[in-house]
């Protein structure tokens, strides 16, 4: 029997401004799609690289969780501390960027899918808590941070919300491509 | 020497609602960054497959343009059907997606350079801008039900979901294109 697919986003309540609420709804939609797409993934596939020096799905899942916490803290003007939330360091936790010819970081070895689901859920809970406090007046607030390479960044809170979504979606696409390559394992690299 | 990088989301003017204006800014930001990342890509690289049956960068760029031209028309403007050939000069099938197992890229994309793909994306975007400028706040919750597909299934969504989908769809394939560039750089001779 033919079914009707419904594509809607339910904007959550409890937020100080709808724009932040909508971004969290979009992130939740992305998470649901991603986790459904990888729900049967094994630890072996999570660690698989198409070539040495390339990211694995496990690294990308950890990266998405770390980045969500980092940018939530940056938007709030808080110091970055992902270890307290995720048990992973902001700079070393995902192993990115990998040196050429490197394997995934040892501390992610053998981790099952449930480990990454937990990371993502903790990151989202943190992001949600912070997003709920963002007001419409906060959206144009300019924050700054200094990256490891000394580069100073200025960004608005509204840009951070957009970046969290586009960053998640970009790596989501890469994970789908990695799954395809793992299934085929005929990559000419 | 360390330098300042400033990132702000500037809502463009000329729109009846700031919501579609923000989504279009996001699409433009993604497009700018994607084509900056693709600078120097040759026609050979754009047509390279990691393996038979895999998408190429060129196929994904064509897919982005086709999908945007179609989705903006039917999912934002609410037209019964799109006119992809009239908007971007190629048909909805010309991206070759989905490729059959062991399939090669479509012949229509053979030899096309980066400027050609950029023109397709820009033409799709110009139409998206035209449509998005007319979207009002009230339009965002307008429900659209597409005609039944060959299997009888139907899709229903509202206008704001489609605007979100345009952005996340672009982002996902953009991420894949960056990864394909990386794979191309480290490929081994066949």
Q: Which candidate from A154, A170, A188 shows the least CB-CB separation from B187?
A: A188
pLDDT at A4 over 70: no
CATH of domain A18-184: 1.20.120.450
Residues of B within 8 A of A26 (CB-CB) are: 164, 168
| pLDDT at site A167 | 98
The two tokens of residue B29 are: 């930001």
The alpha carbon of residue A137 is apart from the nearest alpha carbon of chain B, in Å, by 14
Query: Between chain A and chain B, how many beta carbons pairs sit less than 8 Å apart?
Result: 141
Q: Give the pairing of strands A152-156 and A142-146.
A: antiparallel
Interface predicted TM-score (ipTM) of this complex, two decimals: 0.92
C-beta atoms of B179 and A174 within 8 A: yes
Torsion from C-alpha of A174, B167, A4, A37, nearest 10 degrees: 10
Tell me the pLDDT tens digit for each residue of A148-176. 788 889 999 999 999 999 999 999 999 99
Alpha-carbon span B186 to B190, nearest angstrom: 12
Domains observed in chain B: 18-185 (1.20.120.450)
Q: Which candidate from B5, B26, B53 shows the least CB-CB separation from A151?
A: B5
pLDDT means over runs of 10, chain B (190 residues) = 70 92 97 98 97 96 98 97 98 97 96 98 98 97 91 91 97 98 83
Alpha-carbon span B49 to A12, nearest angstrom: 42
Task: List CB contacts of A1: < 8 A, sequence separation 6 or more.
Answer: B152
Would you say B77 and B131 are in contact if contact means Cβ atoms under 8 Å apart? yes
- What are the domain boundaries of chain A? 18-184
Model confidence band, residue A189 (pLDDT cutoffs 50, 70, 90): very low
Would you say B80 and B66 are in contact if contact means Cβ atoms under 8 Å apart? no
pLDDT at A36 over 80: yes
C-beta atoms of A172 and B175 within 8 A: yes
Tell me the pLDDT tens digit for each residue of A72-120. 999 999 999 999 999 999 999 999 999 999 999 999 999 999 999 999 9
Q: Cβ-count burial of B50 within 10 angstroms (0-12 exposed, 13-18 middle, 19+ buried)?
A: buried
Average pLDDT, chain A: 93
What residue of B is the nearest CA neighbor of A161? B9
Residues of B within 8 A of A97 (CB-CB) are: none
Alpha-carbon span A85 to B189, nearest angstrom: 44
Q: What does the longest C-alpha to C-alpha distance in chain A come to?
A: 59
Q: What is the pTM of this model?
A: 0.94
């Amino acid at each position: 029997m033919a079914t009707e697919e419904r594509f809607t986003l339910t904007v959550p309540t409890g937020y100080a401004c709808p724009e932040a609420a909508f971004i969290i709804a979009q992130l939740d939609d992305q998470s649901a799609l991603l986790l459904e797409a990888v729900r049967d993934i094994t630890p072996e596939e999570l660690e698989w690289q198409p070539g040495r020096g390339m990211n694995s799905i496990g690294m990308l899942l950890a990266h998405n969780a770390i980045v969500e916490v980092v940018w939530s803290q940056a938007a709030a003007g808080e110091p970055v501390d992902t270890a307290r939330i995720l048990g992973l360091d902001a700079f070393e936790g995902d192993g990115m960027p990998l040196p050429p010819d490197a394997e995934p970081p040892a501390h992610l070895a053998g981790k099952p899918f449930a480990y990454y689901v937990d990371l993502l859920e903790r990151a989202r809970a943190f992001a949600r808590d912070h997003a709920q406090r963002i007001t419409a007046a906060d959206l144009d607030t300019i924050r700054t941070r200094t990256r490891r390479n000394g580069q100073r960044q200025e960004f608005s809170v509204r840009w951070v919300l957009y970046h969290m979504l586009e960053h998640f979606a970009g790596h989501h696409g890469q994970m789908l491509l990695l799954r395809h390559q793992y299934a085929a394992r005929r990559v000419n690299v | 020497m360390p330098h300042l990088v400033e990132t702000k989301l500037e809502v463009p003017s000329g729109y009846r609602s700031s919501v579609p204006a923000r989504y279009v800014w996001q699409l433009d930001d993604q497009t700018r960054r994607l084509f900056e990342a693709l600078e120097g890509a040759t026609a050979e690289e754009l047509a390279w497959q990691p393996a038979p049956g895999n998408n190429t960068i060129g196929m994904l760029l064509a897919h982005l343009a086709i999908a945007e031209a179609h989705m903006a028309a039917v999912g934002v403007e609410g037209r019964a059907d799109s006119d992809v050939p009239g908007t971007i000069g190629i048909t909805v099938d010309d991206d070759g997606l989905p490729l059959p197992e062991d399939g090669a890229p479509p012949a229509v994309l053979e030899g096309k350079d980066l400027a050609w793909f950029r023109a397709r994306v820009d033409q799709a975007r110009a139409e998206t801008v035209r449509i998005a400028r007319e979207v009002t706040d009230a339009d965002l919750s307008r429900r659209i039900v597409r005609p039944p597909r060959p299997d009888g299934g139907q899709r229903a969504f509202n206008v704001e979901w489609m605007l979100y989908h345009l952005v996340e769809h672009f982002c996902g394939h953009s991420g894949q294109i960056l990864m394909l560039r990386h794979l191309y750089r480290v490929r081994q001779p066949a």
